[in-house]
Each structure stands twice: as C-alpha cells, then as structure tokens.
Structure 1
C-alpha cells in the first residue's frame, strides 16, 4: 500500500472538534473562539482573533498551519466556506442533564450523532478509502485490531469481509494481537481502530505489524496521534461530543461504524463478482428464519 500523501486536508471545523482537548493552551483558546462562531471569525483580522482569544498572532498562525492551512488567510477562506453549512444545520447542544425528559435526550443524542456523521463524511479522505479498499481486496488476509469498545467495531468489519469471502480476523485482545502481528508479511493488511490513537494495546501491535512489512491503516479521530503517524493510511472518524453520560466509547462508535460501512461498500464494488453470490447465499441461508423479510 502506498503511504498516504499530505495533499488531502481535512475540513477545519471537524478537525478542530476532534483535536480540541489535545491542543496546547494557546491554540485551544483560538479553537474555542473559532468553534463558537466560525462565520464571524471568517470576517476577522488575525489581530482581532488573537485579541478575542487572549493570545498572540503567532499562536493563530501556528494553529492554522497545524490544520493544514498555509496561514491565517487560508484559514479564513476555509472557515468562510465551511461556516455556510454550519449556519443552516440545526443546532441542539449541551450535555444531557439528569432531569432531561426522554424526548430531550433523544433530541440531544440525535443532534450529536448527526453532527458526528456529517463531520466524518467531510473529513474522510476519498483517496485513502480507495487505497485501503484496493489493498484489502488483494491482501492475503486482513486483520482488524480494536481493544475494548473499539473491538466491537473491529469485529463488525472483520465479519463483513468474511461474509464476502475475504480472509479476515478481528483481534480484540492485546497478547493475541501482538503475537499475530509479529507474523504478518507485506501480503497482509492491518486495520487498527482507536478513537484516541494512543491506546497502547493498539499502537504496540500496529507498530509490530508495520515493522513486519504489513500495510497498516488507522481508523481514528486523531490524525496527529501516535497510531496515525505509525500507519500508511488514515481513515478519519470524527467523534461526537464526549460527556459524562456519553463517554468517548459511545460518542465515537457511530462515526467509526460509518467509516466501516463506507470501506466495506468500496471493497464490494471492487470484488462484486465474488461478493454478490456470497451475499445472496448468506441472505438465503437465514431468510427462512425471517419470513417477514423481503429481498430488496
């Protein structure tokens, strides 16, 4: 697999939401001002933004460059374009309170998941998806690594690939992952799932797989994480807002599963002649137990 180039620049607002809690203090102040009103910031001068964030113009420039922009002028242009979509999207924000009615909880969770999926769709690099799908179709086998809550996402992708006849295995335990990854070769693909990109039990086996010559893919919310830097390709998922009642394991899952579905469809498109009869056969195999189901 050809390593991912730096040509793709993820949209600014999803990237800021994904990395806000990892930014240095001065950069975080700028990011908070931007996220509070991106449309207004797009009309500010760099001096105005620095003053509003109680920081220096140099800090504004450094944040712009961290986001893949050449400087503040390019950041303003990006914000102007992205804030149009932000303005027309309904906003229901805020943590879920203990006394919230069920209807309010539904509205808040729905709004957060919808934003997470929208941001992920915008931030996901099409070229990266294509490169990973190409690699999976031709791989000797695909290993999907995830620990804890990410393990359910890893299992979902592995089972999907198995269903269309592609050799795949979910690795959801660290020792098993480590001993499996040291035996990989350049004919294999490892997809590593971690919201933070810093989970030791995911990063360690991934680094082993890379050293063994396997193609490596990070599915993460953190494009600058240790995991992302260790991999050939990065599939970016933007988690929802982490709160006391919706920890990262919950807020990141919908976006990760969205990326899994996009990747799976891309794989099926490339391997339709093999996939179609197997998908049909699996549907037929269980249809008798679901008499109410009709083939779409």
Structure 2
C-alpha cells in the first residue's frame, strides 16, 4: 500500500508548531516541487531552518529528508494527491474548479479510509431498535442534520430535529433509553450539541456522534463515526469537513435503508403520493 504522506501531514497540522506549519503549508501546496529540492532549498522557500526540515521528516517516521521526498513521489505517482484547497487571489475559474474537484475526491477518500464498519453496523442496530431518533447539529452540521432528519421521516423513521437549538433540547427532554441521539459536530466544540449529548449520555440514552476522533464528544458517545481532521485554518470555507460529515451521514442512512428496505419503500411511496397532491391542478 502506498503511504499517503501528504494526508498524514495534513492530519497532523493543528498539532504542529508555528515553524512546522509554515513548512507543512509549503509542502502541501507544492508537493511536485519538493521532489527536486534539497532540504536547504525547501527551508529557504518555506522560511524555516534546514534543521526544521530534517526534523519534520523524522517526525513523519522517516529517517531522512530524502525518504520524505520518496514518500511524496510515491503518492504523486499513485494519483492519490491531497491538494491544497486555499483559494489564491490569482486563481482562474479553471484552477478553482480543479481545486474543488480534488477537494471533493480527497474528502471522500479520507472519510472512506477512516471508516470502521463495525461502528456503522452498531449504529444501524441502535437506530433499528429505537422508538425515536433525535438529531443534534447547528451551523454547517445543522444542514446535514436537517437533511438526515427529512430522509429518516420520509422513509418512516420517527425523527425529531429543529433548527432552533433551544427547541431541539426541549425535544430531547422527552427522549428515553429506548430512543437514540445522533450528534453531528465536526469540531465537537459546539455548545448546543455538547450540552444535548451530555444530557443524553447521563440519562442512558444511546448516543451516536459524527465528529472528529479528537473531539470532546467521544466522551459522551456510545458510538463514534469519525471524520478526518481536514480543515486547516487557512481554508476559505468548511467545504472538506462538510463533505466528510455528509459522506458518513449518507452512509448511515443508506445502511438503515438497506435493513428496512420493504418498510421504507412503502413509506416513501405514501409520502410521494401525498406530496404529489400539491401538484394537482
């Protein structure tokens, strides 16, 4: 298996020092250039010391900077390239479209690589056994929560979600041990989600969280469906995190749909028949 070294660097990004981040930024933005440069030249271009470049390579579990170049070359030749999604002021529409296409592809690839099938199966089992589903999520995560809420209800799974986080918590006070809470928060720091998750966990209501694996939500979750830490602070918008979270949420939904195919199909037909009456003249 080819070592996806650029992805590894991106995953480490938030824990790097200021100098290491400068170097990581340069490597992620210019992976093709790295192959032909010496450690000294990389240091000069990234505005860090040569020693920082060498130590950075060793931090990746490699012996030398030459080994880092080989790892990057191997990834580039495999076609599994993690591009830097920073929108530059001088980017053309074509360049921006290429960057966005690669962000979409790499987000799904990284999410797929992180999947733990056993956790998906456990989540499906909890949802299938539940009387009601309660979903928590605000902001960008709220968009995904709202979409999942509609999908579940459309296919006959009684689900509660409200864009008003106060009302969402009000709904949650009616939940029991026979229900399930799905908490969606990329950062895991959203207070509206954290408060609801902690309440559910303390009251023995099963919690499935879709979040980063370093999130505080994992401490109050029965099952964690992890998404990659792929949003560096220099990105323009939360595109990659939204895509990764949506991928996991959609996988959870279609896994439920597969388990309940007959019942969900009938419910969808009834829903479509009712909604189509709005189109009658």
TM-score when scaled to structure 1? 0.70
Q: Helix, strand or coil: the match of 2:157?
A: coil
Following TM superposition, by how much is the alpha carbon of 1:182 offset from its aligned partner in structure 2, in angstroms? 3.7
Cα distance, 1:85–1:97 mapped onto 2, change above 3 Å: closer
Cα pair distance change 1:134/1:85, threshold 3 Å: farther
CA drift at 1:17: 3.1
Structure 1 alignment gaps of length 5 or more: 1-10, 41-50, 65-70, 291-296
CA 1:86–1:185 in structure 2 vs 1: closer, same or farther (change >3 Å)?
Answer: farther
Structure 1 residue 238, shift from structure 2 partner: 2.7
**How much does 1:32 deviate?**
4.3
Match of 2:249 in 1: 260
1:71-108 CA distance string (max 9 Å, x none): 999xx9xxx8xx65983225543521233221111111
Evaluate the alpha carbon distance shift between residue 106 and residue 173 of structure 1 in structure 2; reply closer, same or farther with a 3 A threshold: same
Q: Give 1:288 shift.
A: 8.5
Structure 1 residue corresponding to 2:123, chosen from 125, 128, 132: 132
- The higher radius of gyration belongs to 2
Q: Is this contact kept in 2: 1:143–1:190, CA < 8 A?
A: yes
Please give the alpha-carbon distance, in whole angstroms, between the structure 1 residues aligned to 2:5 and 2:124: 26
Pick one of 185, 194, 197 that aligns with 1:194.
Answer: 185
Q: Which residue of 2 aligns with 1:25?
A: 17
Gaps of 5+ in 2: 36-50
Cα gap change, 1:150/1:183 in structure 2, threshold over 3 Å: closer, same or farther?
same
Aligned-partner Cα distance in 2 for 1:205–1:285: 34
Say which SS state the counterpart of residue 252 (structure 1) adopts.
helix
Alignment partners' CA distance in 1, 2:114 and 2:160 = 27
Query: 1:236 is matched with which residue: 226, 233, 257?
Result: 226
Evaluate the alpha carbon distance shift between residue 212 and residue 159 of structure 1 in structure 2; reply closer, same or farther with a 3 A threshold: same
Q: Is the 8 A contact 2:82 2:106 kept in 1?
A: no
Provide the aligned length of Structure 1 versus Structure 2.
254
Contact 1:14 1:120 survives alignment (8 Å):
no
Specify the alignment match of 2:210 in structure 1.
Answer: 219
**Partner Cα separation in structure 2 for residue 20 and residue 115 of structure 1:** 16
1:161 touches 1:264 (CA, 8 Å); kept in 2? yes
Q: Where in structure 1 do 4 or more consecutive aligned residues deviate above 6 Å?
A: 287-290
Q: Which residue of 2 aligns with 1:45?
A: none
Task: State the SS of the aligned residue for 1:219.
Answer: strand
- Residue 7 of structure 2 contacts residue 82 of structure 2 at CA under 8 Å; is this kept in 1? no
CA change 1:244–1:88 in 2 (3 A) is: closer
Secondary structure class of the residue paired with 1:195: coil
Across the aligned residues of Structure 1 and Structure 2, the Cα RMSD in angstroms comes to: 4.0
Is the 1:237–1:256 contact (alpha carbons within 8 Å) kept by the matching residues of 2? yes
Alignment of 1:2-41 (within 5 A): 17-18=10-11, 20-21=13-14, 23=15, 25=17, 32=24
Q: Output the CA distance in 2 between the equivalents of 1:274 and 1:95.
A: 45
Q: Is the 8 A contact 1:146 1:171 kept in 2?
A: no
Q: How far apart in 1 are the matches of 2:162 and 2:203?
A: 17
